[in-house]
Amino acid sequence: MPFLFLVRMQIKKSIAAVLLVSLSVMFSACSDSTPATPKLTLSGDRIPANGNVDLRGAGFTPLADAESHLRRPDGTEFPVIVMRTDAKGEFTHLVETWLLQVGKHELWAIDRTTGVSSNVATFEVTRDQPPPDK
């Protein structure tokens, strides 16, 4: 009987050790897979009315869709544009300002997979003349 008692104790200790290691691996995997917060950056914040803004998105779900939103200075919004992210969860888009109103515009994007929204990036369309081409 003492032999069976010792065997059972060893089995319980082994199971406890396996569970502890398994939980440690699971928690470390979860912390490593925490998605980055989606972020937008712009090539400038003051753009002539006949210029361009380079929009860059990062931190989105890789190989998935992101909804790009653009709000005019009067508060109305352009139709949503869907962008496809690359394997790194990034995208780029050229915003041509020649049809935009003069004033401040707001841009943000929503990751369709997670529903998480990016920061709001702003730029101002101006009546300024672009620098001459060299």
80: which residues sit within 8 A by CB, 6+ positions away?
A: 67, 68, 69
* Sheet order of strands, 39-42 included: 39-42, 52-58, 91-96
* pLDDT value for 132: 65
The torsion angle over the Cα atoms of residues 96, 100, 103 and 107, rounded to 10 degrees, is -60
Q: pLDDT tens across 18-50, in order? A: 555 555 555 554 544 555 799 999 999 999 999
Q: Where are the domains of the chain?
A: 1-34, 39-126
Q: Collapse the DSSP code of 100 into the 3-class scheme (helix H, G, I; strand E, B; otherwise coil) and give the result.
A: coil
Separation of CA 45 from chain center: 20
Q: pLDDT tens across 43-78, in order? A: 999 999 999 999 999 999 999 999 999 999 999 999
Distance, in Å, from the CA atom of 132 to the CA atom of 20, rounded to the nearest integer, reads 66
> Within 13 Å, how many C-alpha atoms sit on residue 44's CB side?
15
CATH superfamily of 39-126: Macroglobulin (MG2) domain (2.60.40.1930)
Whether the Cβ atoms of residue 110 and residue 118 lie closer than 8 Å to each other: yes
pTM score, whole prediction: 0.70
* pLDDT value for 128: 82
The torsion angle over the Cα atoms of residues 62, 64, 70 and 76, rounded to 10 degrees, is -150
